[in-house]
Structure formats: C-alpha cells, structure tokens
Structure 1
Amino acid sequence: MAAGPPHSGRLREVYISEISHPKVRGMLGSCVQLMVVTGILGAYIAGITLKWRWLAVLCCFPSCIMLLFMFFMPETPRFLLNQNKHSEAIASLQFLRGPHVDHEWECRQIEANVEEEGLSFLEFKNPSIYRPLLIGVALMFFQQVTGINAVMFYAETIFEDANFKDSRMASVVVGSIQVCFTAVAALIIDKTGRKVLLYISGIIMALSTALFGLYFKMVLPNPNNSSHPDLLFTLNTVSPGTESNLSWLAVVSLGLFVAGFALGWGPIPWLVMSEIFPLKARGISSGACVLTNWVMAFLVTKEFHDLIGFLTSYGTFWLFSAFCCMNVIFTAFYVPETKGRTLEQIEAYFRRS
C-alpha cells in the first residue's frame, strides 16, 4: 500500500488536526503517513526472514499498542464544545497545551465557530461546504491517477532487470525511500507550507514518469511488442544489450517517483483533507474523500494492463506524467494554503470566498 492511510488513518488525521496547535499541525498530521510507511518498511524487512503466519502475528502488536494508548487520550476540544461540554473542553486543552496557556481564550475562539449538529442536503449549496469537499475529492483523485500503485507493483521487476543482487530487497529499498522523504516532508511542511511541497512533488513525479516512458520507448524490441498488455512481457523481451545499458534509467526513475510522492502527494492530501472541512460536514466530507481515493486506486490498478494494451507501455507512463502536471496546475489555482492557520480561520476563508 503506497498511497496513504486507510479509513482508520483518516480518523487519526481528523483527530490530530483538531487537537494540534496550528504551528505544528502540519508536522503532526504528516506523521500519520510517516508511521504508515515506517510500518510498511518494517513489514518488508520482517518478511524477508519470517513466514507469513509469524509476520501476521508481529503486525498485531502495533495495533494493540495504539489501542492501549488511545484510552489515555482526551476527546477533542472542538467535539466537546459542540456537545456543550465546556468544562471537559477546558480539561482537554489543559492536557493538550499544558497549564501555562490561556485555555479560555482558545475555547472562545473555537466556540465562535462551533455550529449545531446536523447537516441537511440543501446545505451543500453553501460554498463553505461544497468548495472544500470538491477540493478534497479532487486531491484524492489526483493522488491516485499519478500511477503510484502501478509503479509500486512493478518495482521488484524493475530491480530484477537492473541485475539487483537480491530482488526481494527492492521492496526494502523503496520503503526506505518512502520513509526518508516522508520524514523530510514532516519536518519542513510547517515552514515551507503545503502548496510548495505539492508543487515540488508534482514536478518530480512528472519528470520521473516521463523518464519511465522514455525508458520503455527505448527498450521495446519492436512495434509489434509495444501493444502487448503485459508489462512483465515487455520487460523480459527487451534485447540484452539495450536492457543492461538502460536499466539504470528505470531504477533512477523509480527512486525519483517514490521520493517525489513521499515528499508531497503522499501525505499532504490526507493532511489538507483533515484541515479544510467545517466541523459539521467533516464526517461525511472526509468519508467521500476516502471513498474517492480507494475507488480511483481500484480503477487505476484494474485498468493498468488495459491502458498498456491501448496506449503502449510508454504511452501509459506519459499519461501518468500528464496527470502529474495537472496536479501542479490544480494546486496553483484551487488548493488553499493552510500553513499557520487555525481550523476556524480556514473555515472562515471558505465562507468569505
């Protein structure tokens, strides 16, 4: 799994966004994706030596530890104030911010934007609700059409063709790249902002998928094989000399793509999704975004071979490159910068626009 946290991860993102101080919300929100890719890397490493049964047992422990610690975590102040539980909200803020902060002031800021429970269908005509919803859904759509899952599925094959000594280590190498660059994103996101990292990430992915397309264009043995629907067939039927000369290009393209995705379009759509929705629409809107993400992941994965048959291998990766360019354009015109803003300020921004 490469694209982002599953349904439970979505709930963690929302929880973290509601309890975090604006100055560190980006870093803490990005840590969800960092922990996801760290867990995946750990599973890759353990899978080299453990049988699948013991690997399954090992993977149970992090979930149990998380369940144990969540018993000690408070409910979010915004939820408590929405339930008219002022004293409980103050206690939650004292736990989260410490004793030397003006908790009453923060409560007043939150209360000024707290709305009554309940969301009718007609309210989706309100720009403060439908605009962030459309942005969130579009972010999830663009995250998947970059081709992240298609690239990850063939990582091991690409390393095999590059004469990597142990192709099983391909997953570990890719996982390590993910962890390193997701950590970099978490450390700098509150300084650079969300949009800057989305720009850099989109440009890197566009270049790397374009290089992938160039690689397949150069290694295809003849036009008759270029329409073969199996990428494994394509990789295994290139001429030996061409493969050995150009295998480095595929490995570099893969590394760049994974690094670029981990730097921006991996963690940031999930983070922005947890920041832009108003409180009363947060549940249904974030659910719609998660649904979009997994539907698009399914469609891209399912139709990948058909795309290769229709567009050729290089044409498919150039299509992914075009979508990455569209990511950058969409970010420039429609994604708001949420760095340093409180959730209430973000909500007020959509009300005014």
Structure 2
Amino acid sequence: AVFPCYIGEISTPSIRGALGASTQLSISTGLFLVNLAGGSLFVEEYHNQGFCQWRHLAFSGAVVAALLTCVSMAPESPPWLAKSNREEALSALRRLRTSPAEPEADQIFSEMAESQSGASESLCLYTKSLVVSIGFGAYQQFSGVNAVNMYTTSIIKSARVADPAAMTTVVMAFQVVVTLFMGVLVEKLGR
C-alpha cells in the first residue's frame, strides 16, 4: 500500500484525513465505473456468447497506462528525502506547497530526530495499535469482501433478480456514497 503512505507524507495535516479516504474512494469509484461501462463493452448480438468490443477494452487499459506514466512526474516524499538530503526534501516541499516550505521542512527534520532517538521506546507504544491494525486488515481479507465485490453480479443473478447487471451497478454506487460519507464522518469525528 504505497499510495496511502505517499498521500499521508505529502499532504498537509488539515486535509490528510480526507485524502487518506481517497484510496478507498478510488477503489469504490473504479468498481462502479467498470460496472457502469461493462454493459456497453458487449456486442448485443453476441451477448450470450460473451464477445466484447475489444477496442473499447484496450482503450480503458491505455488510460491506465497514461496515468501510470504521470506517476513518474510526481515529486518524491519529503520525509523520505529528508533521511538523506535536506536540500532535495526542501525542493520537493516547494513543489508541493504554495506557502513557504522551510517551517514544514524544519518540523519534518525535528520529528525525524525525535523518532530516531526514541525508536525502541516508540515501538512499545505502538505495538497494540499495530496488532489491532494488522488484525483488522487480516479480518477484511479473510471475510471475502473482495470475492463478493468481484462476483456481485453472479450472486445477484442467483437471487433471480430481473436485471442483475443494473442491480450490481446500484450496489457499487451505494459503496461510493458510503465511502464518501465515511470520509466526511472520520474528518468530523477525528481519528
């Protein structure tokens, strides 16, 4: 999970929580859009055989490739750069901020110095939180939620719903709405 860590390191504290929720929002939105577009990829007369219009499918892959190319232009994480080179960290912060970067750079360096001096003490402080976080992650993976997401249409079809594809799109849209709501709720209530 490199992307959430990167977002946390480059964002300002005031918007860090909302941006942290953007990872799950991106996943939910992607599932919704794939389900929405999925019906248009299939050729109507060959629908029963499962033939699809491969050019449209290839175009969607090209969009992803273009987005991945843009990632190479993103600045490196200032805290990561601060471990080796102060000037590079300051330069990255200047690219990311409209306000002066020096105060934030000083804060990053002081936090790094503090964390290195008390590394063994802080490990004990965060052990319980780490175990709980790993437990929740394992529970989520073992719950089968990803299988349910990928086979929603088949599950709904087995329930004999009239239009399983449309109902799947509704379920995915609901996931997007709930993710938005939870992102706002976490920001209001705090972490």
- Alignment TM class, shorter chain as reference: 0.7 to 0.9
Once residues 72 and 151 of structure 2 are traced to their aligned partners in structure 1, the CA distance between those partners, rounded to angstroms, is: 41
Note if 1:74 corresponds to 2:75. yes
Of the structure 1 ranges 146-155 and 34-43, higher mean CA displacement relative to structure 2 is found in 146-155
SS at match of 1:87: helix
Task: Say whether the 8 Å CA contact 2:153–2:168 is kept in structure 1.
Answer: yes
**Please, what TM-score do these two structures have when normalized by structure 2?**
0.76
Match of 2:11 in 1: 20
Is there any run of 5+ residues in structure 1 with no aligned partner, and where? 1-9, 194-336, 338-353
The letter for the 1-side match of 2:82 is L
The letter for the 2-side match of 1:111 is F
Once residues 181 and 169 of structure 2 are traced to their aligned partners in structure 1, the CA distance between those partners, rounded to angstroms, is: 18
Match of 2:58 in 1: 57
Once residues 138 and 12 of structure 1 are traced to their aligned partners in structure 2, the CA distance between those partners, rounded to angstroms, is: 21
Match of 1:5 in 2: none
Distance 1:150 1:91, change over 3 A: closer
The letter for the 2-side match of 1:22 is P
Match of 2:47 in 1: none
How many pairs are equivalent?
176
Once residues 158 and 63 of structure 1 are traced to their aligned partners in structure 2, the CA distance between those partners, rounded to angstroms, is: 28
- Aligned pairs for 1:37-186 (under 5 A) are 37-50=28-41, 51=52, 53-54=54-55, 56-83=57-84, 85-98=85-98, 100-101=99-100, 103-114=101-112, 126-128=123-125, 130-149=127-146, 151-152=148-149, 155-156=152-153, 159-160=156-157, 164-186=161-183
Task: Say whether the 8 Å CA contact 1:27–1:188 is kept in structure 2.
Answer: no
Task: Say whether the 8 Å CA contact 2:156–2:168 is kept in structure 1.
Answer: no
The letter for the 2-side match of 1:141 is A
Once residues 125 and 106 of structure 1 are traced to their aligned partners in structure 2, the CA distance between those partners, rounded to angstroms, is: 22
Once residues 35 and 62 of structure 1 are traced to their aligned partners in structure 2, the CA distance between those partners, rounded to angstroms, is: 15
**Please, what TM-score do these two structures have when normalized by structure 1?**
0.44
Once residues 52 and 145 of structure 1 are traced to their aligned partners in structure 2, the CA distance between those partners, rounded to angstroms, is: 35
Query: What are the Cα deviations for residues 287-343 of structure 1, in whole angstroms up to 9, with x where unaligned?
Result: xxxxxxxxxxxxxxxxxxxxxxxxxxxxxxxxxxxxxxxxxxxxxxxxxx3xxxxxx
The letter for the 2-side match of 1:66 is L
Is there any run of 5+ residues in structure 2 with no aligned partner, and where? 42-51
SS at match of 1:74: coil
Q: Which runs of 4+ in 1 moved over 6 A?
A: none
Once residues 150 and 68 of structure 1 are traced to their aligned partners in structure 2, the CA distance between those partners, rounded to angstroms, is: 30
Task: Say whether the 8 Å CA contact 2:25–2:179 is kept in structure 1.
Answer: yes
Query: What are the Cα deviations for residues 106-133 of structure 1, in whole angstroms up to 9, with x where unaligned?
Result: 2222112326xx9xxxx69931464443
- Aligned pairs for 1:258-273 (under 5 A) are none
Task: Say whether the 8 Å CA contact 1:43–1:59 is kept in structure 2.
Answer: no
Once residues 72 and 153 of structure 1 are traced to their aligned partners in structure 2, the CA distance between those partners, rounded to angstroms, is: 32
Task: Say whether the 8 Å CA contact 1:155–1:170 is kept in structure 2.
Answer: no
Task: Say whether the 8 Å CA contact 2:156–2:164 is kept in structure 1.
Answer: yes
Tell me the C-alpha RMSD between the 2 structures: 2.9
